[in-house]
Amino acid sequence: MDETLSRFLELLEEKLTNEKLVKLTLSKPRRKSDDLRNVYVKPVQLKAGRFFSFDFKFGTRHEVKNFDADQAKAQVQQLLEAHFLQADLFGLETDASLTIFSSGKMKLKSRKITKREAPDMQHDRQKKRLLNPAEVWWFQLGLTDREGNILPSMQHKFKQINRYTEILSGLFKSLQLTDQLRVVDMGSGKGYLTFALYEYLQNQLNLKPSITGVEMREDLVEKTNAIAQHSRLEGLNFALGSISGFPLETIDVLIALHACDTATDDAIAAGIKTGAKLIVCAPCCHKQIRKEISAGAQ
């Protein structure tokens, strides 16, 4: 092993074992084609003891893994030898930077600093969410386990649902809301966004909304209605129908996301006709246009 790399790993080991590590960043991939772009390391306190969280940042995703001190040192060595040209180590009393040049030579800089505060050791930092994954309907919808933990396969979906709720929360700020808010969600599908909106209006704004999810698939209507009834969500129901054919009375908000073909136009027209204060639409695809497209001669 290169002597400079060995000295850097000794500095790292000293901080790992003496609880002096604040954070470590690995950057500058050796190959432009490498999908792994950065790695961020920080100490975390788990039930099993002190570990080190490695956040692997890829091009379009990231993975988090926890290692003990010995494993962490071995991981850093392997990553520097195979993937990265730069390592920046931040400690409570000293910092160090390792630079690896294309020639293979290495340069290590170390400097004393004014003492830093110890890092936040909380592993699962509480995120500011408008939705509570512990609510029973998220388990019944298949996004969480019985303890309210978001399933690994549904993390991205729950993040999307939260983002949707954040966007709507900004739109609702411009409305003069009454206690009995009337909402129709056209094309409600599996009901994720409909339940999210109901939870936000009830738990965050203390309203008693009346929300109807309209869906063409009968099995989904039956399932979402059963979940709403089991969860005792008064005012939330699902109905069988289409955007163009569902009878609408006066409503405050009309939502139609990912409506296919001309359904977005139908939703806007229906919202205007019923005097909706807010119409939220996002077209999905181009079925109508695709019908007119034909392959040309090669």
Same domain? For 154 and 271 the reply is: yes
Average pLDDT, the chain: 86
283's CB contacts (< 8 A; 6+ apart) are: 258, 259, 264
Distance of CA 261 to the CA centre of its chain: 29
Between 188 and 295, residue with greater pLDDT: 188
Indicate the pLDDT class of residue 62, thresholds 50, 70 and 90. Answer: confident
167 vs 170: CA distance, rounded Å: 5
Q: Is 148 exposed, middle or buried (0-12, 13-18, 19+ CB in 10 A)?
A: middle
pLDDT of residue 290: 59
Same domain? For 280 and 230 the reply is: yes
pLDDT of residue 285: 59
pLDDT higher than threshold 60 for residue 147: yes
Domain of residue 155: give its range. 136-289
Between 243 and 82, residue with greater pLDDT: 82
User: What is the total count of domains within the chain?
Assistant: 2
127 vs 140: CA distance, rounded Å: 22
The answer to the question of residue 83 being in a domain is yes
Tokens matching residue 57: 């940042």
The CATH number of residue 174's host domain is: 3.40.50.150
pLDDT higher than threshold 60 for residue 137: yes
Same domain? For 191 and 279 the reply is: yes
Q: Mark 86-105 as b/e (b = at least 16 C-beta within 10 Å).
A: ebebbbbebbbbbebeeeee
Mean pLDDT to the nearest integer, 190-216: 92
Indicate the pLDDT class of residue 248, thresholds 50, 70 and 90. Answer: confident
- Based on DSSP, count helices (H) and strands (E) in the chain, helices before strands: 8, 12
pLDDT per residue as tens digits for the range 153-176? 998 999 999 999 999 888 887 777
